[in-house]
Structure 1
Amino acid sequence: MSDIVLRLDGIEKGYKLGQPGELRVLRGASARIARGEVVALVAPSGAGKSTLLHIAGLLDTPDAGTVEIMGAGLSGARDRKRTAARRRQIGFVYQFHHLLPEFTAAENIVLPQLANGIARAEATERAGMLLAQVGLKDRADHRPSALSGGEQQRVAFCRALANAPRLLLADEPTGNLDPATSDQVFDRLIALVRDTGMGALIATHNLELAARMDRVLRLEEGVLVDGLA
């Protein structure tokens, strides 16, 4: 089995601005993310980080180029195959946790597993295990409104890992937290990624956090280059 979890080759993406204008956001972006590797994605606002993550996560399709997850080419796959790959192999974390407010922390982690065909007892056991890993074992029965911002985001991490994905994509996952909480949540996230051996691509404006990851990819004029500026 390949050590490459995510392969992006020559990704192009543009948006129509009316005739005849077009905004080219990605211009041949290419990258490799390996197992157990945590890679930072940095760029100014509006440079295309979210677009790149959406394409990598099979939520959007490129105009040209290829996306491979665990060696399988999926950029041109039918919707059903892309949906199955997202559910089984990709976990998403966003700046805002988007937890379901009417469900407890544990239930928010159980639900995506049930959607993936996991038995409730097994899903509940895994939810408890994940919450324990991020220090929230005693908060499993709390609804999001009873959790702090940092706790809510840790639950969101657990939800993203519920189906044991091979690739984690995170878009400013600590951007809505104060610096002290951001550091704590980031440390928990990195520990989870290391423990599971998945690959992670994490978009962030925080250059201090980026420098703590294994590598940094910088998006410049639609192309990915290595290292901080």
Structure 2
Amino acid sequence: MSEPVLDLDGIEKGYKIGKPGEIRVLRGASVRIQPGEVVALVAPSGAGKSTLLHIAGLLDTADVGNVRIGGDDLTQARDRARTAARRQSVGFIYQFHHLLPEFTAAENVILPQLANGVARAAAEARAAELLARVGLENRADHRPAAMSGGEQQRVAFCRALANKPLILLADEPTGNLDPGTADVVFDALLTLVRETGMGALIATHNLELAARMDRVLHLQDGVLVAEPTG
């Protein structure tokens, strides 16, 4: 089996809520995600899904446990190394698109590539390719305000994939969309992930969408539990 694109091992995380209280959100969560694998993360609000995604994406640190991305152990990495790994190896998608309103769809996909040192011409070509894959080639010159919610979220997907990350982390990526639009947007997401061969960990409340992924993990009492198959 190939090297996992994401390997979380025994992740624990707690937050102080006063003296001497503490809430333990994660209590030994572990998961390995292979290239091309799409994994659903299901749990009630407040159970720790976002915390787990932030640790996986190097936006937060675990109290205990190890984080490896593409085989690189980043558990104790310094800030500069963590920032470089986020930029080069991790893509993020949130419930709200967070596009830059003053820039076009294409420019929103180009900018993270320029920040990663990609030449302008190559960044423009990559943006055009990604937007075409999600059916937005005719909207490349439109700013977010001139696009629908589903179109904006598809641009956000393209932006997250712009630097060819190893792992895509998504937090309720269709949660702000109506059911019909959510299906269209999710189809685009699955297509992009499978075509590029990256791995994906997608937090969702939508059990129908979760069932379309390769496997489903439930976050229960701070531990990841696989949903029975068959």
Q: TM-score range by the shorter chain?
A: over 0.9
Q: Give the equivalent residue in structure 2 for 1:26.
A: 26
Secondary structure class of the residue paired with 1:41: strand
| 1:127 matched to 2:116 | no
Deviations 1:22-62 (A, max 9, x none): 00000000000000000000000000000000000000000
Distance in 1 separating the partners of 2:62 and 2:3: 24
The Cα offsets for residues 63-88 of structure 1, whole Å up to 9 and x where unpaired, read as 00000000111021000000000000
CA distance in 2, matches of 1:25, 1:9: 15
Percent of aligned pairs sharing the same letter: 77
Equivalence map 1:106-117=2 (5 Å): 106-117=106-117
Is 1:43 matched with 2:65? no
Segments of structure 2 that go 5 or more residues without pairing to the other structure are none
Pairs within 5 Å for 1:176-187: 176-187=176-187
Displacement of 1:228 in angstroms is 6.6
Asked whether 1:160 is paired with 2:164, we answer no
- The match for 1:94 is 94
What's the counterpart of residue 8 of structure 1? 8
Asked if 1:213 corresponds to 2:213, the answer is yes
SS at match of 2:118: coil
Contact persistence 1:217–1:228 (CA under 8 A) = no
RMSD: 1.1
Aligned position for 1:83: 83
Distance, in Å, in 2 between the alignment partners of 1:118 and 1:2 is 28
| Alpha-carbon distance in 1 for matches of 2:18, 2:175 | 33
Matched with 2:188 is 188
Answering whether residue 103 of structure 2 is matched by residue 103 of structure 1, we say: yes
| Equivalent residue number for residue 70 of structure 2 | 70
Contact 2:3–2:71, Cα closer than 8 Å, also in 1 = no
Q: Which residue matches 1:148?
A: 148
Counterpart CA distance in 1 for 2:79 and 2:124 is 29
Counterparts of 2:214 and 2:156, CA distance in 1: 23
In structure 2, distance between residues paired with 1:119 and 1:9: 37
1:171-209 Cα shifts (integer Å, max 9, x gaps)? 000000000000000000000000000000000000000
2:52 equivalent in structure 1: 52
2:8 maps to a residue whose letter is L
User: CA distance change for structure 1 residues 141 and 44 in 2, over 3 Å: closer, same or farther?
Assistant: same
* Alpha-carbon separation, structure 1, partners of 2:123 and 2:100: 17
C-alpha displacement of 1:3: 3.1
Q: Which amino acid aligns with 1:102?
A: E
Q: Is the 8 A contact 1:2 1:70 kept in 2?
A: no
8 Å Cα contact 2:42-2:203 kept in structure 1: yes
SS in 2 for 1:4: coil
> For this pair of structures, how many residues does the alignment match?
229
Q: Which residue of 2 aligns with 1:226?
A: 226
Amino acid at match of 2:214: D
The one-letter amino acid paired with 1:160 is: A
SS at match of 2:129: helix
**Could you tell me how far apart the structure 2 residues matched to 1:228 and 1:221 are?**
18
TM-score (normalised: structure 2): 0.98
Per-residue CA shift, 1:127-164, capped at 9, x if unaligned? 00000000000000000000000000000000000000
